[in-house]
Structure 1
Amino acid sequence: VSLYEVAAAFYQLKKEGDDSLLRQVVKPVENVLTPFSSIYVKDSAVDAICHGAQLSVRGISKLETPIIPGQPVLLKTLKGELIALGKAAQGHGWMLKADSGIAVHLLRVVMPIGYYPKLWKSRK
C-alpha cells in the first residue's frame, strides 16, 4: 500500500464520510502478527499487564498451541485485541497444568494503561 492510497482513502473519509476505502488499506496490527501463537488473557489481568506485570498462569483464559519456551507470543484480550508481545517462559503443557508461576515475560506492551478497568489489587 502506498502513501498515496492511504491519503486518498483519508480524503474520501473526510469529504464523503465513507470509510470503506480506508478499511481496505489500513489493517489492524493483529493481522500482521498472525504467525505467532496467542495467549488469551482474562479481563482481570489486562490492566496489570498494561502496567508492566508479567503474565501469571492464573491470568490465562485460553491458549493457541503450540507454545514453545523462549519463543515470542502475543497476549490478547478475549475480544482479540493485542495487549502485549512477550517471550514464553514455559511451554503450553506446563501452562495448562500449573496452578501458579510466570508464563510469559513481557517484551513490549502495546495497549495503553486504563483501556481496561483496574481489577487487580496493589499491595500496601
Structure 2
Amino acid sequence: METKTSVLQDISSHQGSVILIDKPRGPSSHQVAAWVRDMTGVSSVGHTGTLDPPVSGVLVILIGRAVRLTTILHQDDKEYIALLRLQGDVSDAELKEVIALFTGRIYQKPPKRSAVKRALRIREIQDIELLSREGRLVLLRVRCDSGTYIRSLCHHIGLACGVGGHMAELRRTRSGPFLEKDCVTLHTLRDAVELARAGDDAPLRSIVRSPLEALEGIPRVYIKESAADAICHGARLSSKGIISHDNFQMEDQVAILVEKDLIAVGDALISSSRIVPGEKGLVIAPHIVMQDIGVYPKVWKTHQTKREKS
C-alpha cells in the first residue's frame, strides 16, 4: 500500500509538479484545475494563463509548491490558432496588408465578457501568420504577449478591413516553452492516476514534469550547498556562494540552483558581468523560495549569534 500511494505523494512533495493538460472546449480553466485536484488528491493546484470555456488547448497546471511560480509563468508568451470570420468580402492582398498592421505593440481593451477590469492595455504581437483561407473564413496563427485578447484582435482586424469580423474559434498551441504535443487529455491523466494507485506508476511519471521545465529560458545561477539554507531563510545571494552562472542583466529574473535542485527565483541586483568569484557583493534578491528550511546544512550565522560569540 505504501508503494501505491508514494507516486501521488511525490507529485505535491518537495518542489511540486507541472502537468500539461489539453483543455477541451466547454469547462473553464478553473474547473479543469479542480478536476486535476480531485484526481490527484492534492489540495494546492493552480494554472497559468486562463482559457475561456469555448477555447481549447495548452493549459499549464501547477501542483503543490509549483503554484508559487504562478506570477512568473503567467507572463510567458503564448501562441494561438484563431479562426476569423469576416463579415464581408476582402481581397487576399488587402487582408495581408491589414494583418501586418497589427504586429508589434498594440492597444487593447478587454472585451465586455472578460472577468478583468476593462482598462486600456498595451500588448505585443510578435507575429501573425495567415495559414489558410476559405472565402470569409480566415485561419491565423498568432504569437503574442500573455494577456493578449485574440477575440479583440479579430474584431479589430475585421474593422480595419472595413467589413467587420469576429473570432469564430480559438485554440492555444503554446504556453511558454510548452507545446500542444506535450499535453495530455484529462482522460489520459485519470487513467495514469488509476494505474499509479494500482501499482504501475510509469504512465503518471511520464506525464508529470519538473517546475524547472517551466522556467526554461530564465538564466540560472548554481550555488554552493553551504549558501542554500541562508537563501531559504530569505537572505540575498552573495557572489561568494556562486559556483557558476548564465549571463543576465540587472533586474532580470534568475533561478538559483544547487545542481538540479531549484532553491529559489529572484531578481538580479547586478549584471552577471560584474560578478567576481570569491569576492563580497550581493547578486540576487530571492522573492520565491522553493526549498524547505533545514534541507541543506546551516553554516551561516545571524548577527545575534556573532554578538554572542564575541
Q: Cα RMSD (Å) of the superposition? A: 1.6
Picking from 14, 30, 34, the partner of 2:197 is 14
Verify: 1:85 aligned to 2:265, yes or no. Answer: yes
Alignment coverage as a number of residue pairs:
121
- Normalised to the residue count of structure 2, the TM-score between the two structures is 0.37
Partner of 1:75: 256
- Normalised to the residue count of structure 1, the TM-score between the two structures is 0.88
Q: What SS does the aligned partner of 1:68 have?
A: coil
Q: In 1, distance between residues paired with 2:224 and 2:278?
A: 16
Residue 30 of structure 1 and its aligned partner are, at CA, apart by 0.5
**Unmatched tracts of structure 1, length 5 or more:** none
Structure 1 runs of 4+ with >4 Å offset: none
Q: Deviations over 1:25-68 (max 9, x none)?
A: 1101011101100000110010110011010111111112x211
Partner of 1:38: 220
Q: Is the 8 A contact 1:6 1:26 kept in 2?
A: no
From the superposition, tell whether residues 114 and 4 of structure 1 become closer, same or farther in structure 2 (CA, over 3 Å): farther
From the superposition, tell whether residues 70 and 10 of structure 1 become closer, same or farther in structure 2 (CA, over 3 Å): same
Q: Which protein is bigger by CA-based radius of gyration? A: 2
Identical pairs, percent: 32
Residue 90 of structure 1 and its aligned partner are, at CA, apart by 0.8
Q: What SS does the aligned partner of 2:195 have?
A: helix
**Unmatched tracts of structure 2, length 5 or more:** 1-20, 22-184, 305-310
Q: Which amino acid in the other structure matches residue 71 of structure 1?
A: D
**Structure ranking higher on relative contact order (CA contacts 8 Å, 6+ apart):** 1
Q: In 2, distance between residues paired with 1:91 and 1:20?
A: 42
Q: Is the 8 A contact 1:5 1:25 kept in 2?
A: no
Partner of 1:121: 301
